Amino acid sequence: MRIDTFVHRSRIPASAADVFDWHLRPGAFERLAPPWERIRLVDAGGGVAEGSRAEIELVLGPFRQHWTAEHRDIERGRQFRDVQVRGPFAHWEHTHTITPDGTDACWLQDQIEFAPPFGAIGAWFGLPFIRRKLRATFAYRHRTTAADVLAHRHAAQAKHMKILVTGSTGLIGHSLVPFLTTGGHSVTRLVRRATPQHGGPNAAQEQTVRWDPVLGTIDHEGLDGHDAVVHLAGENIAAGRWTQRQKKAIRESRLQGTRLVCDALVNLRLPPKVLLCASAVGFYGDRGDEILDEKSLPGAGFLAELCRDWEAATETVRPRGIRVVNLRFGIVLSPAGGALQKMLLPFKLGLGGPIGSGRQFWSWIEIDDAVGAIYHAVNCDHLSGPVNAVAPNPSTNRDFTHTLGHVLRRPTVFPMPAFAARLALGEMANDLLLASARVVPRRLEETGYAFRYPQLEPALRHVLGR
């Protein structure tokens, strides 16, 4: 059996102890899993400890592959090794090594010794593919490790926090929760259904509290004593055509849920210091090439009216001394969900192109910056009210289309006329695809948030592994 070796090494501007501890905390696997891969931690096996085993599920098209890895050779602050016990490879050993480079920096090295399945045939056909996958994966992992460790180190509020999150299984929540737990914070998920606490990957630093926005019930006692609440829950605005019934469901899910959370917070014995509530740049409506910041007036249309009322629903907690931040998110870039996920298949097939005139501005934000904006707002005591959670460089639809095609190495010569978009999606096409909102993150920049990905092409290359 031929054993091949892959090594990826980079310098991290943080101490070896900080980087090692980050890898051992709950949520590290989720933060390191590339968003373009369908991979899930089924059971963390008690975390990284000598002899413990992690259960992983890989989805490759219609096939599911289970992978069991055992942690071995742990040297505190220095290294640990993951050895495949059961899985897709004939042999797999992954050694994580962290070497100090002074007191405030270290070298992070991942060394993989592997053998593809099916012997010489597997090596002949699979080795180039595996190496490409490893290069993209570990470049992503090292960028994420460095940025996350530094984000936690530079946070103004470095102490341990207890944070309540609604919508924790959504696109942003799915990335936010492991980001928080790898930073040493405790997370409480506000959920509609009870989830088992044993066997979950992050059970050691997560709890669940029950609520039902439709019935108007919530566990008040379980909400007490949190430092911050991040409210992301609500019906997906792009889940289907905007019929009257669908618009009512979208509106009620946001307003009823927000009012229920806020009513509960004002009556707590120990209320949170801050409430962060999601909103959207749809607040501004269709504004052409006008530059829009947090002082700009609301626009017209269903989405603008929804955002205005959604933000107003949070005002009831201010008299209780709770700081309120309304994060107006742009298009969140991640292949794991949202608009980018829906665009990928036609673009990969070479069927992508501008929508309508292509001159409408799309304000976007990379998924890690969406999470970073939330964390920044939690820690920035003088940040309140509306905050645009967008990158500082909005793109026209035509530029967005061209850049995505360039990153995927595909032509973008199949435009979608405005009438076709309206025919397919109705009113939703006007608000989500054809409306122009040139939004800038004035408040984030004024309060010192440093974007990981301020430019579109590097953002797309990061989340797509290109």
Average pLDDT estimate for 184-210? 71
pLDDT at 432: 87
Q: At what angle do helices 302-312 and 244-266 cross, to 10 degrees?
A: 10
Average pLDDT estimate for 288-292? 96
pLDDT at 59: 83
pLDDT at 457: 98
Looking at 65-74, 203-212, 293-302, which range is the least confident one? 203-212
Which residues, including other chains, have CB under 8 Å from residue 54's CB and lie 6 or more apart?
29, 41, 43, 44, 45, 68, 69, 71, 82
Q: pLDDT tens for residues 437-465?
A: 999 999 999 999 999 999 999 999 999 99
**pTM confidence score:** 0.92
Within 10 angstroms of residue 167's Cβ, the number of other Cβ atoms is 20
Which residues, including other chains, have CB under 8 Å from residue 229's CB and lie 6 or more apart?
163, 164, 165, 166, 223, 261, 265, 272, 274, 275, 276
Nearest Cα to 178, choosing from 26, 281, 336? Answer: 26
Question: Does 423 score more than 90 pLDDT?
Answer: no
Q: What are the boundaries of each domain within the chain?
A: 4-154, 162-464
Looking at 29-43, 131-145, 192-206, which range is the least confident one? 192-206
Amino acid at 89: F
- Supply 167's token pair: 């919508």
**Which fold, 162-464?**
Rossmann fold (3.40.50)
Q: pLDDT tens for residues 205-226?
A: 568 999 999 899 999 999 999 9
Looking at the DSSP bridge assignments, the partners of residue 81 are 72, 95
- Containing H/E element for 348? helix 338-348
Q: Is 26 exposed, middle or buried (0-12, 13-18, 19+ CB in 10 A)?
A: buried
Question: Does 198 score more than 50 pLDDT?
Answer: no
The rounded mean pLDDT for the chain is: 91
Question: Maximum Cα–Cα distance for the chain, whole Å?
Answer: 70
Is CATH 3.40.50.300 the right assignment for the domain spanning 4-154? no
pLDDT at 229: 97
Pick the more confident residue, 47 or 199. Answer: 47
Q: How confident is the model at residue 328 (pLDDT cuts 50, 70, 90)?
A: very high
